[in-house]
């Protein structure tokens, strides 16, 4: 049997290494492109059977049509979220779409916790001060996490992992999700309405997928009912937050702390070195000016364990699709 020809887009060195080191990589013919998949680059997959894509690759109807015409049969996402794929179009075109439903959810939950702890105890500022011989504590005042009310929006793999971590800190945990996870209620977490969660909690962390219902979940109206000085954490998808409303919330002190690993317009910026360029995104640049905003560039997933798992599951999706032994629960558009 001929090996499936796989075109990997947005391929960083660490992606290539984690794939090449996996034994299943010998069962595919891999071509990698550092560039993102979009209308300008789609023609690069001329020889491919499978396109391996990441979070900011564009997979709208026009691009999927282009892929189909070029002979691609399978879009293998090497991530969990699939908000960047027009799944209706893929279905219409008969293109299979697979993903990695859960790879080290603890990795992302631990990163959300790192954002909470850093924003609170300001270790990033303390590090710089102490290196400069400045041991003044003014401006570094934090709060004790123990006993604080923390709201977790979306209690799937990652949200549930965060609930488990926070329960170790002795937080009072409020959850909102259309589905109740009984195991979490056994740890002492309470499911509540979204409004109660938003209005009660000192810290709110977002872990639901981006879709039509959750788009701009955090907006002027939802911010209005939150506590003054609330800490908001988003490691899920940028589109969950109306960035303009959040900037207003920071200016009026409604938001006391903002931790972001994702940003609505991140595809223009994240995963690349722009340090010697002039960044043109004024909204992002405004966010960066606030002393109480901490942004990381979509690195929640970025642990050695998660990379190995992503490579293994993605390769298994590709090989099993090619050999007809498909693990259907990993396909968002079924073959």
Q: What are the catalytic residues? A: 237, 266, 298
Q: How far is the CB of 102 from ligand NAI (least distance, A)?
A: 5
How many residues are given for the chain? Answer: 335
> Quick one: 15 or 177, whose CB is closer to ligand NAI?
177
Q: How far is the CB of 133 from ligand NAI (least distance, A)?
A: 36
Q: How far is the CB of 278 from ligand NAI (least distance, A)?
A: 27
> Quick one: 28 or 226, whose CB is closer to ligand NAI?
226
> Quick one: 45 or 217, whose CB is closer to ligand NAI?
217
CA 101 to chain centroid, in Å, comes to 12
Question: Where along the sequence are the contacts to ligand NAI (CB under 6 A)?
Answer: 80-81, 102, 105, 108, 153-159, 176-179, 207-209, 213-214, 235-237, 261-262, 298, 300-301
- The residue number whose beta carbon is nearest to ligand NAI equals 156
Angstrom distance (rounded) from CA 236 to CA 81:
9
> Quick one: 116 or 158, whose CB is closer to ligand NAI?
158
Burial 7-41 (b: 16+ CB within 10 A, else e): bbbbbeeebbebbeebebbebbbbebeeebbeeeb
In 3D space, the residue among 197, 202, 251, 247 whose CA is nearest the CA of residue 222 turns out to be 197
Q: How far is the CB of 307 from ligand NAI (least distance, A)?
A: 11
The token pair that represents 301 in the structure block: 């997933």
Longest Cα pair distance anywhere in the chain, in angstroms? 68
Mapped to the 3 state alphabet, what secondary structure does 112-148 carry?
Answer: HHHHHHHHHHCHHHHHHHHHCCCCCCCCCCCCCCCCC
DSSP 95: -
């Amino acid at each position: 049997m001929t090996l499936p020809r796989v075109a990997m887009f947005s391929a960083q060195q660490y992606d290539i290494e984690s794939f090449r080191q996996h034994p299943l990589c010998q069962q595919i013919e891999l071509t990698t492109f550092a560039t993102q998949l979009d209308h300008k680059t789609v023609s690069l997959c001329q020889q491919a059977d499978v396109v391996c894509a990441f979070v900011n690759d564009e997979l709208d109807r026009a691009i999927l049509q282009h892929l189909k015409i070029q002979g691609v049969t399978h879009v293998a996402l090497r991530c969990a979220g699939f908000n960047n794929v027009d799944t209706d179009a893929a279905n219409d075109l008969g293109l299979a779409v697979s993903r990695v439903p859960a790879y080290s959810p603890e990795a992302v939950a631990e990163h959300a916790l790192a954002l909470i702890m850093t924003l609170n105890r300001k270790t990033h500022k303390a590090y710089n001060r102490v290196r400069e011989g400045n041991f003044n504590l003014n401006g570094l005042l934090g709060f004790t996490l123990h006993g604080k009310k923390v709201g977790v929006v979306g209690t799937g793999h990652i949200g549930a992992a965060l609930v488990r971590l926070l329960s170790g800190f002795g937080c009072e945990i409020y959850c909102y999700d259309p589905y109740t996870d009984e195991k979490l209620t056994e740890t002492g977490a309470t499911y509540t309405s979204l409004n109660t969660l938003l209005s009660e909690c000192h810290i709110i962390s977002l872990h639901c997928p981006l879709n039509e219902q959750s788009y701009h979940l955090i907006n002027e109206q939802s911010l209005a009912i939150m506590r003054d000085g609330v800490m908001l954490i988003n490691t899920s998808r940028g589109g969950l937050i109306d960035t303009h409303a959040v900037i207003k919330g920071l200016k009026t002190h409604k938001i006391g702390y903002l931790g972001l690993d994702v940003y609505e317009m991140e595809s223009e910026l994240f995963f690349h070195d722009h340090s010697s360029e002039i960044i043109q995104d004024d909204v992002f640049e405004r966010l960066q000016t606030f002393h109480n905003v901490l942004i990381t560039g979509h690195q929640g997933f970025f642990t050695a364990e998660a990379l190995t798992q992503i490579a293994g599951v993605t390769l298994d999706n590709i090989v099993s699709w090619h050999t007809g032994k498909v693990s259907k629960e990993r396909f968002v558009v079924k073959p």
